Amino acid sequence: MKPVVELKNLSKTIGKKKIIDDLNLSLYPGQITGFLGPNGAGKTTTIRMMVGLMKQSGGDVIIDGVSLRDNFEEGLSKVGVIVENPEMYKFMSGYKNLLHFSRMHKGITKERIDDVVRQVGLQNRIHEKVGTYSLGMRQRLGLAQALLHRPKFLILDEPTNGLDPAGIREFRNYLRRIAENEGVSVFVSSHMLSEIELMCDRIAVIQNGKLIGIREMSDAEQSFYYIEATPKEQVQQILVNEGFAVSPLKEGYLVQAQQQQIPGVVQSLIAEGLQVYAVQPQRKTLEDEFLEMTGGGQIAQSHTK
């Protein structure tokens, strides 16, 4: 699959300090990529270079085949951006806000405005003043505004900050549908690890200006299971005889096994007359993996430079 966005040896030096060090990353259509990093890692500096708010010292950002270094305006025309709390004219209706923003791009029809309003679920309130909107509705209006010109690449910086759990789930569902239906590549920077885990197809982690890891969320298949059964002294022997790696815990055992092997394990225990009380998947959370990768560094907030 051809990437929508490519960061090629992207670098930024301020004074004598190299803030971003030869960063290479590819982002693909229809895929949501989370961007994480400890405080001071260079996350926000990277984003600023990706949207043209800061000039790179070296390397390039390629968006849909267009170099920001060589053809800044054309490259940036393919980008949509949502930053934390989108600024809108509160005395105007949501529709008039979108109409106003549509004039900044060529060829945006009223049909397109209606289309993005439907995509973010604002049909019933779009003609009311933005000042009456909840935070969640303003976030959805910001998403509609960012989609007006059919961007190939969408950057979101702390998009769910301040939303309640229902609003976060609603926004996440809209974002997922947009990525899948329109083939947009979505890049999400957030300090909410649990939300990144639910929202994203993969994550990229930056530390000290370097990309230190990329994790595909599909790789998170369970590989360890906690099994509790009695008589306990027989459990380990049965599992070892079947070729499983077993670690004793206080009440049960941690067993390394693939998901499809677990029904057979349970059947073997029952066939030997054991009473099975618990079979629970055990895996590292995204938080565990992030802390391991960064050596315990704190997750960056949206204002990180």
At 67, the pLDDT band (50, 70, 90 cuts) reads: very high
pLDDT in tens, 27-61: 999 999 999 888 788 888 999 999 888 899 999 99
CATH of domain 5-219: 3.40.50.300
The predicted model scores a pTM of 0.74
pLDDT of residue 303: 42
At 305, the pLDDT band (50, 70, 90 cuts) reads: very low
267's tokens: 């059947």
135's enclosing H/E stretch is helix 135-147
Q: What is the mean pLDDT of residues 137-157?
A: 91
Judge whether 5-219 and 224-282 match in fold: no
Residue with tokens 């990525």: 179
Domain boundary assignment for the chain: 5-219, 224-282
Q: What is the mean pLDDT of residues 75-95?
A: 87
Tell me if the domain spanning 224-282 has CATH number 3.30.70. yes
Asked whether residue 255 carries a pLDDT value surpassing 90, the answer given is no
List phi, psi (to 5°) of 129: -65, 140
Give the sheet arrangement for strand 202-207, strand by strand.
79-83, 153-157, 185-189, 32-36, 202-207, 210-216
CA dihedral (104, 109, 113, 119) positive or negative: negative
Asked whether residue 287 carries a pLDDT value surpassing 80, the answer given is no
Q: 163: helix, coil or strand?
A: coil
Ramachandran sector of residue 121 (left: φ over 0; alpha: ψ -120 to 50; beta: rest): left
Pairing of strands 210-216, 202-207: antiparallel
Q: Which of 2-6, 55-59, 250-254, 288-292 has the lowest mean pLDDT?
A: 288-292
Q: 158: helix, coil or strand?
A: coil
Report the chain's mean pLDDT, rounded to a whole number.
86
With beta carbons less than 8 A apart as the criterion, state whether 189 and 33 touch.
Answer: no
